[in-house]
Structures are given as C-alpha cells and as structure tokens.
Amino acid sequence: MYAAPPIPPDIVALSDYEAAARQRMDDKAWAYFAGGSADESTLRANQAAFGDLLLQTRVLAEMQGAETRLTLFGQPMDYPILLAPVAFHRLVHPDGELAAAFGAAAMGATMVVSSQASTTLEAIAASTAAPLWFQLYIQHDRSFTEALLRRAEAAGYRAIVVTVDAPAATRNREQRAGFALPPGIEAANLRGLPPTPPSRAGLAESDVFRGLLDAAPSWKDIAWLRSLTRLPLLLKGIMSPADAQRAVAEGMDGIIVSNHGGRSLDTLPASITALPRIADAVGGRLPLLLDGGIRRGTDVLKALALGAHAVLLGRPQIHGLAVGGPVGVAHVLKILRTELEIAMALTGCTRLDRIDRGVLWDAPPQ
C-alpha cells in the first residue's frame, strides 16, 4: 500500500506537479479532473485573477516568533491549507483516498473527504491520523442523506461540508473525451442509494426543470441538516453576498467561497474576485474559506488578505497523488506552506491575523 515512484528532483512547484501528472494520467481521467464547465472561462479565471492582484512588500520587519497557526471550529491547525473534497482518487492511484489521507497526515493537514470518494468514509477514517471533515451532497433520497451524515459522525469526522452549487452542470470536455468510470471504481459511500426516480419530462419537455432538478436541495434542506447535527456545518459553493447572509441567518458555522473549481456555472467570477464582497456581507460573523485556483503561497496570502481564514486545495492534490502517491500529496502541501511563509516574511506579517488588505498594492495606506 501507498507505493509511489520517487519524485523527480525538478518538481519544485505545483505547476511542475500538474505537468508531470498529465504524463501519468490517461485522456479520460485528465478530462475529468482538469476540465471545467462549458467553455471553461471560470476555470481559467480562477488562476488568472490571483495574478491580477499585486502585493505590497515590506522590509526590515521583526519576524521573530512568526507562525502560521490558527484554530477553526475549535480545531487547531498548523497552517491554513486544507485538502478540498475531490471525487474518485483511485482514478490516479490504486490506494486512492487512503494514500491522500496518509499524505495529509504526514503534513498535519485536514482532509475534506468527498461523498463521491472511491473508498468508504469509514475506511479512510480508520487508516489515518489526519483530521477529517466530510463533504455531503444532499441526495434525492433524504433518508439516505441522513444516514451518510450519521456515518460521518460515527467515524469521527469533525465537520460537515455541504456542497450547494452543483445540482446541474455542462462538462463538455468530459463529454468529448467520453469519460466514464472504469470497472472497479465507484462512489463507494453511495452504495445502496436508491435509483433516481425516472424523469417526468416528455420528449419535447425540459429534462432539467421537469427531471434533473425535481429533488434538488433548497434552504429548507439546509435547515433540516442544521437540526440533525451538532457538528460544525459549512456551505460550500457560496458566491453571492445575499446567499452568504442567508447562510448566517440559517445558523451555518462557516462558508466556503467557491465556484466548484469552474465546474458548475461557467462565466462566474473567480472565487478570489467574489471573496471581498462576501467578506463584507458576512462582517466577521463566521469563518470564510476559499477554494479555486490556489497554486502559490502568494495566492494563499492574497485570499487571507481579502477575508478568508483558510484555503482548500483541489486539483493540486490529485496532481501530487498521480505523481508521487502520499509523498506527492505531502510535498504539494509542504511547497505551498513554505511559499506562504516566504510571502508572509516579505510582506512583514508575523501571524495570520496580521494579514489584511494592506498587503495588497492597491489597498489604502496603513
């Protein structure tokens, strides 16, 4: 278990892992993990928007005692980088999520396990010392959804992350590649889920409005979930200030600002572009996290400057896993943490709570 080839010495950045992973993944798996929705405008924007944000360096700062520690929902963390929920890790490594969790544990990072993991949530929890959160899709069968929640609670997961932004999507790159799960790989946590009821749509009617969305979740389902658990409950996929304010009103414990990695509605703004408006709307009433486009430690710094408490890493964990197994996942986290520390040193920030909009070039003078 956890076998991996040596990591090539010329892999020194997350972009190097991406290039190396492309050589190790077949075209269908690459289309699934690398692709976005429709024309992939939002997918490209997620990374490009970080490049448009310039930093303001500060020199001769006293950096003794600098640290990156934080606490989220009562959980201490050494640094503000988590592994985002990503489905079907076994498409790129035979040990799948078990290997990714091993890598996360080596770096003391929290891993958010997907409902669509290719390994059961119980097996992942039993295999690792990494702190785990569980990402929940509200299924068409609400009793099955509640059972998933109870399984996560029983297995020791520390928070529930409800993805709310993907009831439907157009994934043309996957369609062109003819992506389908190969034999032996499945959404292991969804075994036993009753089949989706047949569409009510006639031949000339909408398959979306009279079929796909029949059982889509609403705010009533979020209130229902809130009533079921005492675990911290986060909504993932918030891009609207109005939805962020509703999440606060519904008693959520946290928000993940996310456009689903550009895999949901195309031509949305980048996650980092939406973050300041959401931070202003929330006004510090609950923690904000962000995913989408994080590739450098400076990206993490910029997200924290604009109101995030932590970030989540999606595709890069898959790249690390494909190239180096658990060691690759750990190395990806190590690279990003080191780059964050360098960025903090060069902007004069000794702690995470010292990072604010003043580290950005266009921010008002401090």
List active site positions: 260
Tokens of 172: 């043309």
**Which residues, in sequence order, are bridge partners of residue 313?**
83
Q: Is 172 exposed, middle or buried (0-12, 13-18, 19+ CB in 10 A)?
A: middle
CA distance 97 to 123: 9
Q: How far is CA 2 from the centre of its chain?
A: 23
Lookup: tokens for 343: 């960025």
342: three-class secondary structure by DSSP: helix
Spatial distance between the Cα atoms of 283 and 256, rounded to a whole number of angstroms: 15
Q: How many other β-carbons are positioned within 10 Å of the β-carbon of residue 38?
A: 18
Give the Cα separation of 303 and 305 in Å (integer). 5
Would you say how long the chain is, in residues? 366
Number of Cβ atoms within 10 Å of the Cβ of 191: 8
Spatial distance between the Cα atoms of 47 and 350, rounded to a whole number of angstroms:
26
Q: What does the alpha-carbon distance between residue 94 and residue 74 come to, in Å, rounded to a whole number?
A: 34
Q: Are 286 and 252 in contact (CB under 8 A)?
A: yes
Please tell me the distance from the alpha carbon of residue 333 to that of residue 328, in angstroms, as a whole number: 9
CA atoms of 213 and 31, how far apart (whole Å) = 25
Helix 241-249 vs helix 271-282: crossing angle, to nearest 10: 50
Within 8 A by CB and 6+ apart from 270, the residues are: 42, 45, 46, 48, 49, 50, 259, 292, 293
Cα separation, 3 vs 77, whole angstroms: 28
Q: Within 10 Å of residue 120's Cβ, how many Cβ atoms?
A: 16
